[in-house]
Structure formats: structure tokens, C-alpha cells
């Protein structure tokens, strides 16, 4: 793991605080963000709740100021696991601290319900509306619904001055110089729509839920825009490869056959399984768009192109 600073000041009113939970699925750990510079701050995401050192970092950043609003990007434990404990910590949050999340049915599932229980019991859990604004000092946070990684995913723009930063949650990850379109996706159709939505915002920096901040510009413009375009291009390329495989033979294809034809170089069984899941996500998107069909052969689902009638 590259050495990363646990606290990073991104602008006058934005500080990144690392959740101290590195791992194979969290890169160098979850990023959380403190927004504002006055006595009342906003915290975006809370880490996983299992790293006592993280709360110490928040205290260090806050000094005498306190968090009075917590915004959550989505239900995954490495983003909301710290809520219950934070609400108990009077040296970090105000007594009236409010927790905002896009509320969905899956919040009732036991794991998620438990992580939101503290906020529910206090009566301080609030729903987020799309485009809802949160004013902090002279900055405006605006909710951008971005389903795809999870159905409840919300990104937030932070505007102030001429910059428009985008807190991306897990919709887009920061990956240093190497750009790869990789985050886990629950629904690829909505994920792609959400990518196009955030691209249209033309953010000048991406503040991801994991990995380094993407900022600055090169000869081809803002790096933030380039990263979003790469994410879109990567997925579109994969989709085209799948369509090409299906077009190469008029038969009904097994999922495994399509995967092997697209990911020719992969031999590791674990990675093949991940590739197969990815292929299935694409096929489901294409199915919803009426571009492929499912064919039942001997009680096994296979896949074929929908060819225009000639």
C-alpha cells in the first residue's frame, strides 16, 4: 500500500479523513470528508465503526467545532458503520446532530437496520431528496442520486468559488494515475445513467469514497472529467465485446462461453467468476434494452442477440 496521509486538507472547507480500514475491497480504507470551517461541520460517511483511531482523527480535525449533520452516500458498512458510535460522542457531534441518507426498503435488512439503529432511536434519521441542498458556511452541498453501485447511492457536489467538487462515494473510485473502470455494480443500466449524469455536471475534482482525490488538469482538460469518461468508455468497450461475441455465431450462448470468449487471458478461477458476474450484468442491461434475449435450452438459460427481421 502506498503511504497515504490520514488527514488531507483539500480546500479551505474540505478535509479528507481516512477511515483507517484498509483491505482488499476498501483500497487504502474508506475516505470520509469534513465539510465547513466554522463551528458546525458536515461529515460525509463515517468509516466502518471498528477503528477507534478514526474517531481520534476526527477530534483532531474538529478542535472545538462539532459535526451537526452526517450525510451518508450508501448503505455499505464501510460507509455507515460508524454512525451509532459517533452519535454517542459529544466531543465530535452536537446533541442535535442529524443523519441524512436516501431511505430505501433495504434499510430494514437486519445488518443495515442495526447500523442505523442509533439514529432511528434518537429520531434524527432523515431522508435525502434528489438535488437537496445542504448549506455549510459559504459552501453548498447538493445531493446527486447515483444508483448503480447500490440502489440508494447518493453523490454530493460541493460548490464554493469557481470549483465544483464531486463527492463520489463508491460510484467512482480514485485510483491515482492508473485509470480503470472498476467498482462493484449492482445494476449496470442505472450505473451507466448515473455516470452520464455526473459527467454532465463537469466536476473539477472527484473526492472518492476510496482512493486518492482526482484533481488538477492536463493537456486534455480536467483529470476528473477524463476519469468519468474512461469509466464510461471501459464499460461501453466491454458491452461491444459481448455483442461481437454474440454476433459471431447465431446460436444461443451459455454465460460461461461468452465470458471465456471476452476475457480470453484470464485463467484464475476466482477472477473468471468475477468476470462471469460482470458479463451477466452487461447481459441484464442489454436484456432490459431489448438488444439480447434469453433462450431456454434444456432448462438452462442461454443468451442470443435480438436480430432485426430482414
Cβ proximity to Zn ion: between 76 and 282 the closer is 76
Interface segment toward Zn ion; rule CB under 5 A; list 59-67, 73-81, 213-221, 287-295: 73-81
- Number of neighbours of residue 252 by Cβ within 10 angstroms: 18
Least CB distance from residue 173 to Zn ion, whole Å?
A: 10
C-alpha pair distances (Å), 197 with each of 39, 192, 202:
33, 9, 9
Helix (H, G, I), strand (E, B) or coil at 47: coil
Closest to Zn ion by CB, 61 vs 227, is 227
DSSP state of 27: B
Q: Are 48 and 30 spatial neighbours (Cβ–Cβ below 8 Å)?
A: yes
**Closest to Zn ion by CB, 48 or 170:** 170
Least separation, in Å, of the C-beta of 231 and Zn ion? 15
If binding is defined by CB under 5 A, does position 68 make contact with Zn ion?
A: no
Angle at 77 between CA 72 and CA 82, to 5 degrees: 65
33, 62, 249, 276, 286 from 282: Cα distances, Å: 33, 44, 18, 10, 6
Q: Minimum CB separation from Zn ion for residue 170, in Å?
A: 4
Q: What is the closest distance, in whole angstroms, from the C-beta atom of residue 149 to Zn ion in the complex?
A: 6
Kindly tell me which of 70 and 262 has the beta carbon lying closer to Zn ion. 70
For the bound state, the minimum distance from the C-beta of residue 15 to Zn ion, rounded and expressed in Å, comes to 21
Least gap, CB of 309 to Zn ion (angstroms): 43
Residue 152 interacts with Zn ion (CB under 5 A)? Answer: no
Instruction: Out of 66, 69, 76, 223, point to the residue binding Zn ion (CB under 5 A).
Output: 76
Q: Are 308 and 291 in contact (CB under 8 A)?
A: no
Residue 170 lies near Zn ion (rule: CB under 5 A): yes
Between CA 279 and CA 291 the distance in angstroms is: 15
Beta-strand ranges (E) seen in the chain are 7-11, 14-18, 31-35, 40-44, 66-71, 93-101, 125-127, 133-136, 139-145, 154-160, 163-169, 205-208, 217-218, 221-222, 292-297, 300-305
19: its cell numbers: 477511515
Nearer to Zn ion, 170 or 239 (CB): 170
Tell me the window of 10-18, 104-112, 168-176, 302-310 that interacts with Zn ion (CB under 5 A): 168-176
| Least distance from Zn ion to the Cβ atom of residue 260, Å | 29
Binding mask 14-43 for Zn ion (x = CB under 5 A): ------------------------------
Task: Give the binding range for Zn ion (CB under 5 A) out of 15-23, 101-109, 169-177, 224-232.
Answer: 169-177
Residue 307 sits at the vertex; the CA angle it makes with 250 and 277, to the nearest 5 degrees, is 70
Where on the chain is the footprint of Zn ion (CB under 5 A)? Answer: 76, 170
Amino acid at each position: 500500500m502506498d503511504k497515504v496521509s490520514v488527514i488531507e486538507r483539500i480546500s479551505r472547507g474540505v478535509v479528507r479523513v481516512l477511515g483507517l480500514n484498509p483491505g482488499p475491497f476498501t483500497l487504502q480504507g474508506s475516505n470520509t470528508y469534513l465539510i465547513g470551517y466554522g463551528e458546525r461541520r458536515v461529515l460525509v460517511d463515517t468509516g466502518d465503526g471498528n477503528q477507534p483511531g478514526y474517531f481520534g482523527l476526527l477530534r483532531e480535525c474538529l478542535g472545538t467545532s462539532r459535526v451537526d449533520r452526517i450525510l451518508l452516500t450508501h448503505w455499505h458498512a464501510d460507509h455507515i458503520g460508524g454512525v451509532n458510535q459517533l452519535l454517542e460522542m459529544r466531543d465530535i457531534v452536537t446533541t442535535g446532530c442529524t443523519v441524512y441518507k436516501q431511505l430505501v426498503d433495504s434499510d430494514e435488512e437486519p445488518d443495515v437496520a442495526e447500523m442505523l439503529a442509533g439514529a432511528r432511536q434518537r429520531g434524527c434519521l432523515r431522508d435525502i431528496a434528489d438535488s437537496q441542498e445542504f448549506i455549510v458556511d459559504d459552501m453548498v452541498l447538493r445531493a446527486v442520486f447515483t444508483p448503480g453501485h447500490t440502489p440508494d447511492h447518493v453523490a454530493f457536489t460541493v460548490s464554493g468559488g469557481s470549483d465544483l467538487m464531486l463527492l463520489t462515494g463508491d460510484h467512482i473510485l480514485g485510483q491515482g494515475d492508473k485509470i480503470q473502470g472498476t467498482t462493484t455494480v449492482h445494476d449496470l443500466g442505472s450505473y451507466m445513467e448515473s455516470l452520464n449524469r455526473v459527467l454532465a455536471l463537469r466536476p473539477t475534482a472527484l473526492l472518492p469514497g476510496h482512493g486518492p482525490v482526482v484533481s488538477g488538469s492536463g493537456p486534455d482538460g480536467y483529470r476528473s472529467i477524463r476519469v468519468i469518461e474512461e469509466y464510461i468508455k471501459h464499460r461501453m468497450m466491454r458491452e461491444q465485446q459481448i455483442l461481437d461475441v454474440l454476433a459471431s455465431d447465431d446460436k444461443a450462448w451459455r454465460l460461461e462461453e461468452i465470458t471465456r470468449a471476452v476475457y480470453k487471458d484470464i485463467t484464475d478461477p476466482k477472477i473468471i467468476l468475477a468476470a462471469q458476474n460482470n458479463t451477466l450484468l452487461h447481459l441484464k442491461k442489454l436484456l432490459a434494452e431489448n438488444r439480447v434475449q434469453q433462450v431456454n435450452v434444456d432448462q438452462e438459460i442461454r443468451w442470443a442477440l435480438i436480430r432485426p427481421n430482414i
